[in-house]
Amino acid sequence: MKVGKDVYLAFSPERIDPGNTVYTVTNTPKVVGGMTETCTEVASCFYRQVISDVVPVSSPQAAEMTKLLENTFRSVNIALVNEVALMCDRLGIDVWEVIDAAATKPFGFMPFYPGPGLGGHCIPVDPHYLAWKLRTLNFNSRFIELASEITRSMPAYVVAKVGDALNQFEKNFKGSSILVLGVTYKPDVRDIRESPAIDIIEMLKSKGADVSYHDPYVDRFSVNDLDMTSVALDEGRVGRSDCVVITTNHSSFDYEWIVKTAKCVVDTRNATKGVQAGLEKVVKL
């Protein structure tokens, strides 16, 4: 059988943002690249039945590279803003204030936000497929490698922040009770793939901390040597904890109440931005 005559072969990369209710499958443009022009035309016709905007490209390779560019773009820019967060910490500047101010520029700037690391099934993974492929062609993709290095350092940076918070109360990691809020990689979804919260929990446990977690979307998880069940988010649990670490900014969390009830809070997501009272107890990324 001949491709383009007897069988039609094309590739269309995934463009899904879990939890996004504005851009869904039907209104997100669909990139399609076929083995031949006819393949592209047939595949595009197929997708137009359910998707409002189809974007044809010259080949499956171009379609796949489009996806890799999109994910690498996000990976590199998130790594950049994570490094800016590290800089601001050294300089005594609020990185969140800086980003909000920069985002008022109507051109030439797109806001990205720091966090405890990258998660999900695309951004932490896909750029490395590209980097691996390029290494086989004797090409070093330096931006991808550097972005990965910075991003991989963020869980350890968060753990250091927790140590700083505990020190304020003359506490050590060993024996301290730490409550982690959120183990999914992004808010209001159930996905824990590549979640940096898992790395943070492992590091805290390795330092001798008594770690528990609460997540309204994940009742239980088993990853590597961890097998944990979500605890109740009540006044006793929050109040008894030596430190509460916000790793996922779920919209269902009452951050005013959390800050009021907790002894200290390490906020890796700027989730406490709107909190008015008790901010002296909050350590931000």
Looking at the annotation, which residues are catalytic? 122
C-alpha distances (whole Å) from 39 to each of 4, 6, 42, 90 are 6, 10, 5, 55
Cα 170 from chain centre: 32
The Cα–Cα gap between 256 and 70 comes to 36
Question: How many residues in the chain?
Answer: 285
DSSP at 137: T
Bridging pattern class, strands 243-246 and 265-267:
parallel
DSSP at 56: E
Contacts of 80 (CB under 8 A, 6+ apart): 112, 147
At 257, give phi and psi (nearest 5°).
Answer: -65, -40
The Cα–Cα gap between 243 and 239 comes to 9
The Cα–Cα gap between 141 and 137 comes to 11
DSSP at 33: E
At 7, give phi and psi (nearest 5°).
Answer: -140, 145
Closest C-alpha to 66, from 30, 98, 38, 91: 30
Beta bridge partners of 57: 33
